[in-house]
Chain A
Amino acid sequence: MSSFFVAHPGDPIARINSALAQGKNLLMTPGVYDVAQSIAVKRADTVVLGLGLATLTAQDGAVPMTVADVRGVDIAGLTFDAGTVDSPTLLRIGSGHDKGGPHVASAADPTALQDVFFRIGGPHVGKATTSLEVNSDHTILDDVWAWRADHGVPGSVGWTVNTADTGVVVNGDDVTATGLFVEHYQKYNVVWNGERGRTVFFQNELPYDAPDQARGATGRSTAGPRTRWRTRSGPTKRGASAATSTRTSTRASTRRSRSRCRTDRAWSCTT
């Protein structure tokens, strides 16, 4: 563990950042961390591992964690909570996917996220324009759930209360999502701009609380399919992208409404 800084709730973020800057990895022990300045991961191959679903809560509109344009970073076992002041995003992986350089984004040493979860509202009022922003090429998203809360502590959920435009924005190329769950965002659940993306599994759900069909641009009307998943150049490009990767398998299973689906012991679903 000599290469790790073992963080505890209440540790000054500056201290955590200092440890990271010195080349330490980060083990975050269980608890809730208030984060008013970004935890900045700048070194390649840094590991940030949370225990007990350690949770980072944005304060004052901060981006709780940023990862520089480096390769091989691993972020695992963390929950990111939006705070009451809107954050532009809650976790930003890389600043741009086209910056180049010997240490950036490597297929052989990819950056990966495992069991990284996002909440907008739920325990308290939360606002974040985007939850996860992936700019680094070759990033692997292995069990990510981005959730704009549809229930929670009274007063923490509502169309103008827990505001969140977009769940996941992927700008990096060659990004692979082996498990991506995104729910209830107000504009787009996923915006995927990167090339040659692959999604092995995708589940999403549209918001229940869109006040009307217009804003509900984002709602569950005919606009729905496009709001679930938008790509940079529209469906054609997306199709081309999918065609370049025969291994791609995207199955969007939309849990449209709990009330519309019933299961019984025969495990069939009637809608």
Chain B
Amino acid sequence: MTGATTSTGGSPQQAVAHRTGETVLTVVDHHGTPLADTEVTVEQTRHAFGFGNIGFDFLELANGELTGSAADAAEHLADLYTDVFTTATLPFYWGRFEPERGRPDTARLRRTAEWFRDRGVALKGHPLVWHTVQPDWLLGLPLDEVERLQRERIRREVGEFAGLVDTWDAINEVVIMPVFDNGDNAITPLARAKGRIPTIRMAFEEARATNPHATLLLNDFDLSSAYECLIEGVLEAGVQIDAIGLQTHMHQGYWGEETMLAMVDRFARYGLPLHLTETSLVSGDLMPAHIVDLNDHQVPSWPSTPEGEARQADEVERHYRSLVGHPAVESVTYWGITDAGAWLGAPIGLVRADGSPKPSYEALRRLVKDEWWTAPTVLRTDERGGCRCGGSGGSTGRTCVVRRRRSPSVVRRGSRNWSRPPGERTADGRRGAGLPRASRPSRAEVLTARSVRTGPPGPPARYAAATHHRRPSTSAPRTATSSLRASGHVSARKQVSVYSSINSSAGRTRTAGRALGIVAVVGAAALGVVGPAQLAAAAPPTPPPTDLGPNVLVFSPDMPQADIQAKVDAVYDRQVDDEMGTGRYALLFKPGTYGSASDPLDVRVGYNTEVDGLGQDPSGVTINGGVTATGRNGSGSLDTFWRSVSNLTIKVVPTADACHTGNEMWAVSQAAPMRRVDVKDYTTFMPYCESPNYASGGFVADSARGRALNGSQQQFTVRNTDLGAGWSNGVWNQVFSGDLNAPAQSFPVPPYTTLTATPVSREKPYLYVDAAGAYRVFVPSARTNSVGTSWANGHTEGPRCR
């Protein structure tokens, strides 16, 4: 995928070309008769692209809690807000929403939401689950009680606000959630206990069950591959997410178009709409770069400066141009209309604390309401009542009203002063957000549009490629939804709606009522839409086979065991004494069982040989027999270096070579790790079949065994391993860290050093094959103070799968 750099080259029109297209409308009267050769005015009423901001500053105003100059100032701010922004994020932080258990702030938030809705602003709730801003009364409750209350809270808020707030940050900042250490809260332990993906499932399933029509987001500030991988895990687990939220707080400086778009590209590949949910750019000093958690930077005063404001204006413009230019982006929400009361006291607002707009506000308004806005256009229908709409003016995706033209004075472009027919619902049964007064048929007859078709190009090829990525099957029907839809009359005013959907560049279309939430406007520009035929053409291809080269031998359970044994032995024969040679081998076993009680498979492991199971967990591959590393006569296991075994289960079955295979023998020196191996029987790390039987190992991690023998190992370390029935002896230094059933600390006699928990660890990434047979690499997440294996209670935790 090439980088999206459209914003920095070419004209602004080119930058948003993918959002424009041409639609042919047939204009009919209320009897359905096409109006031929009639002058009509096409007028934009709204952007389909979401230009959002937080609505936190308007709770008092919306609830009539302000008087005098404070009310006037708030009204003025509201005017500035609604002139530019089409979506408001409302605060549902649990700790502030329900500081006293059982007394949620529902009524106040409802009035605020209605206030916005009445001004044509759609709403988003933030957030349903988060580990910060938690109510104190949640602390100390048992985990199952916390989970029950969290689930109740999701259902309550989503249910109470259905039809009013239909977009939610279902869960916020899950990457860090289970390891968050910057403040006690009840949610972090819950996320740690449940795991990230089950926690996400909890949030989405509760919200979805309560409001099936809601648009639910996963939102995070961590934009590293940890988040990518979490998304992959969530999709793989079948949790339906509707859009990916990406936070871009830039208190430490604008990242620049290139970095921003490269990041957006990474998240575009899932084929889901992207919402830039939290954007901030400061108009004063930048926060020092060494601050990791932005919350750690607390300054008494953080003024906006003239230079900072000029810089912010430039950056805001560049930021919006680049993101609107990226086809996967569906909305950008700025995190603050005003400096007054801004997060961290930072001058991130577009309006100064005194209420005057900063240059950044003017810059953004110029883009949203001028450059990307289509002025009212007078058109004449053809003999069949058709007219072409859209595709000119370089507008972003937008929604238009078509009106029969009676006089020039009917042409208005204001988007403010909205009113909403109470309870009016869209054709698919959902409540609309409101009807602009300007488009109400008081002065001009709203005509109907019928028989639309679109003629836009498909998305740029590089984004079409993005549809190759897996998405949950539950979303498939939606991708086939037609991008434009005409409905019947919905009101006595004889308005007919055509719902336009904005495409997502990644080949996913959305039904319009959901995308726009607007009733009774004519969607004249469904822009950059991918039709069903194109979607079919972009069906996921079979992934190409991964070429692991000639030195990787891959076995599957359906291969004759004799063949497997012969190949394993051939590698062993080559490598057994080739300590310093150039041979390097990996023996990989696909999921299944190898060997049997009557016919064991013995995988002898020589130098520079790696033996791995390819299951997702150690239980995926079982070897009846052994995986054997031995000493040599003359030196024992002082030089049994450079080999490894991982990710499988061993049930010991002795072969004719009973000394080496009567127990699982892993009699190794350094550089011969055993990881993720579940030995159901006795393990020996001592080369007791050789003379002398010295041994200088050794390393075991994330494993389990029935019982283990150190034997002659001078030193050995065993981490996060279940030792089952125990461990015998040690020579000079035997360390246990985070093990189960380990001997107690007793150094120096016996020389056991025992750490109850491993302070910090990250298990090694490993290769496995997924259900479709494709190779994947799983990258476990870091653990702190861990005890036992990463896989004892299900899959290893790892948002970082690739």
Query: What is the interface of chain A, defined by CB distance below 8 A to chain B?
Result: 1-4, 6, 8-9, 23, 25, 27, 29-32, 44-47, 49, 51-55, 71-72, 74, 76-77, 79, 99-104, 106-110, 112, 114-115, 117, 122-123, 138, 140, 142-143, 145, 147, 151-153, 156, 176, 178-179, 181, 183, 198, 200-201, 203, 245, 247, 249, 251-253, 255, 258, 261-263, 265, 267-269
Contacts and interface: CB of A to CB of B under 8 A. Distances in A.
A110 B735 contact: no
Given A47-B765, A201-B717, A201-B733, 13 more contacts: A3-B225, A9-B549, A29-B549, A52-B585, A102-B289, A117-B671, A142-B701, A147-B670, A153-B580, A179-B699, A245-B759, A251-B733, A263-B692
A176 B757 CA distance: 14
Given A253-B732, A267-B711, A200 B759 contact: yes
B758 A265 contact: no
A183 B638 CA distance: 13
Contacts of B226: 45, 72, 109
B759 A198 contact: yes
A112 to B, nearest CB: 4
A99 B398 CA distance: 46
Nearest to A118: B671
Contacts of B644: 53, 77, 115
Given A55-B584, A72-B226, A200-B758, A263 B712 contact: yes
A266 B673 CA distance: 25
A245 B760 CA distance: 13
Given A53-B610, A267-B729, A106 B552 contact: no
B759 A247 contact: yes
B324 to A, nearest CB: 23
A138 B779 CA distance: 18
Given A47-B779, A253-B733, A176 B753 contact: no
A262 B714 CA distance: 10
Contacts of A178: 701, 717, 719, 737, 758, 761
B393 to A, nearest CB: 36
Contacts of A138: 760
A48 B747 CA distance: 37
B524 interface: no
Contacts of B673: 114-115, 143
Given A51-B552, A251-B753, A265-B688, A44 B224 contact: yes
Contacts of A267: 686, 710-712, 729, 731
Given A101-B289, A181-B670, A29 B266 contact: no
Contact of B714 (A2, A54, A143, A269): A269
B737 A200 contact: yes
Given A6-B548, A45-B225, A49-B765, A249 B755 contact: yes
A74 B765 contact: yes
Contacts of A32: 582, 584
Contacts of B782: 108-110, 112, 140
Q: Is the interface of B mostly helix, strand, loop or mixed?
A: loop
B216 interface: no
Contacts of B549: 8-9, 29-31
Contacts of B548: 6, 27, 29, 51
Nearest to B290: A100
Interface in B692-734: 692-696, 699, 701, 710-712, 714-715, 717, 719, 729, 731-733
Interface residues of B, number: 86
A140 B546 CA distance: 30
A223 to B, nearest CB: 21
Interface in B618-655: 638-639, 641-644
B556 interface: no
B346 to A, nearest CB: 15
Pick the 5 closest A-B CB pairs, nearest first: A100-B290, A253-B733, A30-B584, A114-B764, A52-B586
Contact of A255 (B266, B547, B696, B760): B696
Contacts of A255: 696, 714-715, 732
A200 B747 CA distance: 14
16 contacts: A30-B584, A32-B582, A45-B225, A54-B584, A103-B224, A108-B782, A112-B782, A138-B760, A145-B670, A178-B758, A200-B717, A200-B755, A253-B715, A258-B638, A265-B693, A267-B686
Nearest to B728: A267
B671 A25 contact: no
Contacts of B717: 178-179, 200-201
B308 interface: no
A99 B290 CA distance: 7
A79 B641 CA distance: 11
B156 interface: no
Interface stretch (B16-24, B274-282, B769-777): B769-777
B763 interface: yes
B20 to A, nearest CB: 30
Contacts of A112: 762, 782
A53 B642 contact: yes
B338 interface: no
A260 to B, nearest CB: 11
B753 A77 contact: no
Contact of A123 (B266, B580, B638, B729): B580
Contact of B774 (A1, A51, A201, A265): A1
A49 B760 contact: no
Contacts of A30: 549, 551-552, 584-586, 608, 610
Contacts of A6: 546-548
A51 B800 CA distance: 19
B751 interface: yes
B49 to A, nearest CB: 27
A122 B699 contact: no
A52 B610 contact: yes
Contact of A249 (B224, B753, B777): B753
Contacts of B608: 30, 52-53, 55
A91 to B, nearest CB: 15
B776 A200 contact: no
A53 B638 CA distance: 19
A253 B714 contact: yes
B394 to A, nearest CB: 31
A265 B225 CA distance: 50
Given A200-B755, A255-B696, A267-B686, A3 B802 contact: yes
B536 interface: no
B74 interface: no
Contact of A140 (B228, B762, B765): B762
A191 to B, nearest CB: 20
A143 B751 CA distance: 20
B511 to A, nearest CB: 30
Nearest to B639: A151
A216 B493 CA distance: 98
A25 to B, nearest CB: 6
B176 A176 contact: no
Contacts of A181: 670-671
Nearest to B178: A108
A110 B800 CA distance: 12
Contacts of B639: 151
A55 B761 CA distance: 24
A79 B93 CA distance: 50
Interface in B519-577: 543, 546-549, 551-552
Contacts of B638: 258
Nearest to B580: A123
Contacts of B732: 253, 255, 269
A247 B755 contact: yes
A43 B356 CA distance: 41
Nearest to A103: B224
B141 interface: no
A178 B783 CA distance: 13
Interface in B212-233: 222, 224-226, 228
A143 B699 contact: yes
A138 B762 CA distance: 11
Given A79-B642, A145-B670, A178-B719, A51 B610 contact: yes
